[in-house]
Every structure is written in structure tokens, then in C-alpha cells.
Structure 1
């Protein structure tokens, strides 16, 4: 066994540091001499605000965590959930070789800078895929069948039976579901909908048509998907290229009886265009779990609409998804350390970096 290293882990209000520390001990114990522990942001509301700003603007907007400033130079690994791994962090951690975030998105990591410095970055693909895919299907049913509105009417002392879509409340059977994005979550949605006897259209230019057809779905272009679908569910990643990927052009060709579901990222959709088609009853309704600002702005037009279901960005938040993700992360890092092929490396070119190779030999020999 090679030289042991120190790891620095920063938890937050969503996954406390104890969860990360236990996962380090379980999976990386043979390689780690000490786990330096801290909380990046322990207040739930403040965490939501900060992580959303980082997702919109990148990790460089954040200041350096005091624990990193104090002890960062000792650590060769840094792990957490929403910790903003910026150039400030890398400057304060000159011996850093491995960064891991226990989430699919890596908006909180400056991957370009990490790659330049020979720092290997891990994430966890699919950690909340089951949770989000469950929720997306639930949101389709909730909006189309007026579940939340009926619940609210009873709680308000009413017995409401008439809704904006009362003339065309649908069943799933024989409907067409359009999925924008066909990664792990999109594929799970397709599998879970298969029992409803629906037709599934998929638009994802990065997925081979054969892979889409293999799951019983039909690959189509974006225009066809928006024209023909009865339900459209968004499961794409937000990048510079996909900002406002869905805008007025796409929304305007949807059926008047169609529903729009977004459990991915608000930035994928032109929010003004979506609000307008809902206000004008150009589509039947929408169900949204993500917003440009969270909590949602109190002057948001969505708050005054009767044909939209709103939730508080909870699609991926289940006990299973959160509790299991640190273990998935550390387990994958351990694969690398044990000479096996890791699954979740975001910048694999670092594996060919001579300095990184020398470090890996030193700590695993």
C-alpha cells in the first residue's frame, strides 16, 4: 500500500458532513489517513440561494471557505455536494489531485481549470435519476388530472369539479409522450411510462437513434416532438448551448390539449414564452419544479395561473437519493485507487497527465 493522503470533505444542509465522512471511511479507508470535516452551508434556505446562483454564474462568484483557507494545503482530495470548487479553492489547495461532487451536475466545479492543473474531477451520474423520473411521471398525472387543484379546493372549503381542461382531461393510454433529452433520467421515464401503453417520441441529438429505438421510442427532431406530443417532459442538461433551448417557436406549435413538464432546469426554457402560452390557454397546462429564481419571485406570472402545477424543486430530493450519493462517489474514487475503471470521471484526459500518474502511483503502490 502506498502513502496515505488527507481528504477534506464539506457537507451542507442537504447532505451533512457526517454522511461524507462515513463514506470516506467505508470506501477510501485504506488510502486516507485523515478526513478533515466541515460544513460549507448548513442553513437550508441560504444553501438553495447560493447553489442556484452558482449554477447560473459558476463557482468563481463564491468566496473561499474558511476551513479550506485554514487546512486546504494539507489535503489531496476534496469532496462535497454543492461546494464551489473555484480557482480560489485550487489556489488554497496546491496538493489537490482529486475533486468529487456527489451530484450529476458539475456547475459548481471549474472543470477547465481543474483539468489545466491536472486535478481529476468525479461526479455521480444518476444519483437521483429514480427520484426525478418518478416525480416527472407524477407531475404529468398531477397536472392533467387536476390533483393539486382538487386538493387545494377541499382544503379551502370548496368541492371543485370544473377546471380549465375539463373538456379534455386525458388518460395516458394511446397518448404521445415527448421526451426532450434521453440520458439516464429520460430513459427511466420512458421505461416507467411503458406500462401505460403510450407512444414515446424522443429528441436528443447526442443519443444514437438505435439506442432510442432499443427502448421502444421513436427519435424525432425538435419540431416534430412539440407538434405531435400530448405531454412534453424535459430531461436535458443546462449548458451554454442549451440555454432557452425551448422557446416561443417550440411552444407555439404545441397542441392546445398538450401539457409541458419541466423537472430539469428553468434555464432550458424561455420563461416569458412559457408564461404567455399558458396565459393565452394555447396549451392545456404545465407542471414546473424549477424556476429562474428560487424561491420563486412573488411577482411571477405562474403564481396567478390556474393551469399550472408548481413544486419547490423537490424532484430529486428523496432520502434514498441523498443518503446513497456520498457512497456512490467514494466507491467510484476507490475504483480508480484500486486500479479499476471508474465510471464517473468528468475530465478523463487528466489520467494521461504525467504529474497525476506519478501521484497515483505514489499513493496506490
Structure 2
């Protein structure tokens, strides 16, 4: 198959090229590369010659060992879903020198900002104070602040310290919080370099006014925050879930909120959309967001910029630097469920 331009297989589900590229950047993509658009399920069915000439895959479709053998020119899989998927033999991918890259960092700042909003809302009772006006039960002045707390100077705990955890520390910087972080995959000196203190999970849970959960789901931590974890938290503390619902025992979290032990906010749920009769919909003390924390157009378009920049570097036989590279030791341990809606 003669080619005048490098070939890119495009299967960015659930994204689309129009979503992740501005019109200008999409024109650049099409000008520099030959784009073959298909579905993730159909990638392995493409013509053998086409597979042999593909330099990049945009998306993370299922790839078997046989298909990898056919993809003899492949340099990188560019995941624009944000979660590394358990749908390829990573050991073989790495052995072949193929990069697996994710643009998930584009979501870090938008999610961190809404996390800050959740924290202020929970600590100051903003949403409950607003809804009281509807039934004329609002409490004026100090009467409405019986449970209110300042975020400034508060004890904050962060569970997980990837791109999102680091973005959180930046947006919290002006509040001069006492921040402790638990992440067993991060060296303590790196945490200190980010002006946070390494801590055990028990310390983060038991000594924080606000706990942010930003850990990815892995084979090691599914449901690791359960009833015992919530019981360790300070009474009245705020628990903010920003990563994936599978890292918590969701019913145990709701039980802790229902008992009045904690207040909580979540952008993610064990089933999305949430069933109409799910108790989380009406539970007092729970602030709800429909998995929308990172879904801003500016974040989607940043993904396209990251992809173009890294493809340009790799075209010049340089390592990719904008996207996050999957690591040989941890890629196959990721277990976040794929998103099915932008």
C-alpha cells in the first residue's frame, strides 16, 4: 500500500475527532496524516496491508497478539478515553517498543476545580442554605452556620497523587491547608517536593476535615474504602469522590452520610445513569454531580493538542512528552471502567 503520509487508524470511542480537535487542529491532522476512520471493534478487521502501514492508533481498541503482529509499523496507541483499558497484552506491546499514551491529564484541572467547589459547598453548607429558601425555612446570619467550617487552614487529606492529586494541591494552595497524602505508588520524597506530607491511609482518614479521593481503580484497591474507613473519619468531615466509584464501597459511604457521621460529594456512581429510585438521589448530606467534573470543551480540545504534539515528536524519532506514558509495571493493573458518554 503506497503512502505519501503516515497512516493513522482513528477509533477514539467514545470521543470523536470533532470533539477533541478544533477545526484548525483537525485540518492539521488531516494534512499531515492519512486518516482511516473506523470503530474500535473493526480495527482488527482492517486490511492486512493497512494494518502493516499504521504508525499510530488514535483510541484504545482491543488488540490481540495476532493483530499486534500485523501492526508492524505501529509506534503508539494514543488513548483519548483517559482510562487505560484492560484490552491488550501490555507485556507484548512494551516488548515491541510501542508507546501506550493517555491524555487523561487534560481532565486534571477541571476536576480539581470542581473538587474545590464541592469542598467549599460541603464545609459552608451552600446548597442546603439555598434550598431552604424554597420552603421558607432559611436560617439567617449565624443561625445558618452551626456546622460551617473554613477551608483555610483546614486539615486536608488526598488519596492518590497522580495528575489530579497534583492539580488539587495547586488549586488549594491559597487556602494554606495542612495537606497529607496517601499514595503507595509514589515515593515520599516526591510528595514532599509538592509541599504535601506523606501519610498512611489511616492518618489521612482520621486526621482530615476534608478527604479527596482521586485514586484510579486497580486490581489492588477495588472497594478498599468501606465501612471501617468511613468510621475512622472525623465526625462532620467531608468526603469528596472524584475518580471512580469502584474505589469505595458506595453503600457504606451512603450509610455514613445517612448516619450523619460525614457529609460527602461525588461526581461518579457505581451505575451511570443512576437508577431513578436510588437512595443517593435524595439523601441529605450528599452533594451529587452527574460525572461532569472534567467534561469541558477546553479539556477535550487540549487532548487533541497533546496528541498532535506527541505525534510530531515521535515522527522525529523523539520520545512523547505531552501525554502520560503507560508504565510496564502498572498498566495491566488498571481496572477503571471505560466511559460511554463524553
Q: Tell me the TM-score normalised to structure 1 length.
A: 0.76
- Identify the range of structure 1 (179-188 vs 285-294) with the bigger mean alpha-carbon deviation: 179-188
- What is the match of residue 36 of structure 2? 36
- What is the match of residue 340 of structure 1? 318
Which deviations, in whole Å up to 9, do the C-alpha atoms of 1:325-353 show, x marking residues without a partner? Answer: 0220231132122122223332579xxxx
1:295 Cα deviation from its structure 2 partner: 0.6
Distance 1:253 1:242 in 2: 18
1:35 Cα deviation from its structure 2 partner: 0.8
- What is the match of residue 10 of structure 1? 11
- What is the match of residue 270 of structure 2? 292
User: Residues 206 and 28 (structure 1 numbering): CA distance in 2 closer, same or farther, change over 3 Å?
Assistant: farther
Which deviations, in whole Å up to 9, do the C-alpha atoms of 1:54-90 show, x marking residues without a partner? Answer: xxxxxxxxx823x763557514145445x54343993
SS at match of 1:131: helix
Structure 2 contact 156–211 (Cα < 8 Å) conserved: yes
Distance 1:73 1:85 in 2: 19
- What is the match of residue 362 of structure 1? none
SS at match of 1:291: coil
| Residue 178 of structure 2, aligned match among 199, 211, 215 | 199
1:296 Cα deviation from its structure 2 partner: 1.2
SS at match of 1:130: helix
> Cα RMSD over matched residues?
3.2
Distance 1:169 1:302 in 2: 23
- What is the match of residue 235 of structure 1? 214
- What is the match of residue 301 of structure 1? 279
Structure 1 contact 90–96 (Cα < 8 Å) conserved: no
SS at match of 1:191: helix
1:113 Cα deviation from its structure 2 partner: 6.7
Q: How many residues align?
A: 317
Distance 2:182 2:210 in 1: 13
Distance 1:227 1:196 in 2: 21
Unmatched 5+ stretches in structure 1 = 41-62, 350-365
SS at match of 2:325: coil
User: Are 1:145 and 2:132 an aligned pair?
Assistant: no
SS at match of 1:309: strand
Distance 1:257 1:86 in 2: 47
Distance 1:153 1:15 in 2: 42
Unmatched 5+ stretches in structure 2 = 330-342
SS at match of 1:260: strand
Which deviations, in whole Å up to 9, do the C-alpha atoms of 1:26-53 show, x marking residues without a partner? Answer: 36855x3x21235x5xxxxxxxxxxxxx
| Residue 322 of structure 1, aligned match among 284, 290, 300 | 300
Structure 1 contact 139–287 (Cα < 8 Å) conserved: yes
Distance 2:297 2:227 in 1: 37
Distance 2:114 2:55 in 1: 34
User: Residues 172 and 303 (structure 1 numbering): CA distance in 2 closer, same or farther, change over 3 Å?
Assistant: same
User: Are 1:64 and 2:41 an aligned pair?
Assistant: yes
Structure 1 stretches (4+) deviating beyond 6 angstroms?
none
1:110 Cα deviation from its structure 2 partner: 2.2
Structure 2 contact 115–242 (Cα < 8 Å) conserved: yes
User: Residues 340 and 88 (structure 1 numbering): CA distance in 2 closer, same or farther, change over 3 Å?
Assistant: closer
Equivalences for residues 93-132 of structure 1 within 5 A:
94-95=71-72, 97=74, 98-107=76-85, 109-112=87-90, 115=93, 118=96, 119-132=98-111
User: Are 1:173 and 2:173 an aligned pair?
Assistant: no
Distance 2:185 2:94 in 1: 26
Distance 1:150 1:77 in 2: 55
Structure 1 contact 131–316 (Cα < 8 Å) conserved: yes
1:19 Cα deviation from its structure 2 partner: 4.4
User: Residues 3 and 114 (structure 1 numbering): CA distance in 2 closer, same or farther, change over 3 Å?
Assistant: farther
User: Residues 336 and 300 (structure 1 numbering): CA distance in 2 closer, same or farther, change over 3 Å?
Assistant: same
1:197 Cα deviation from its structure 2 partner: 2.1
1:235 Cα deviation from its structure 2 partner: 1.2
- Identify the range of structure 1 (133-142 vs 102-111) with the bigger mean alpha-carbon deviation: 102-111
Which deviations, in whole Å up to 9, do the C-alpha atoms of 1:193-248 show, x marking residues without a partner? Answer: 12112111111122222222223221110001101100000111111112112122
Distance 1:18 1:68 in 2: 24
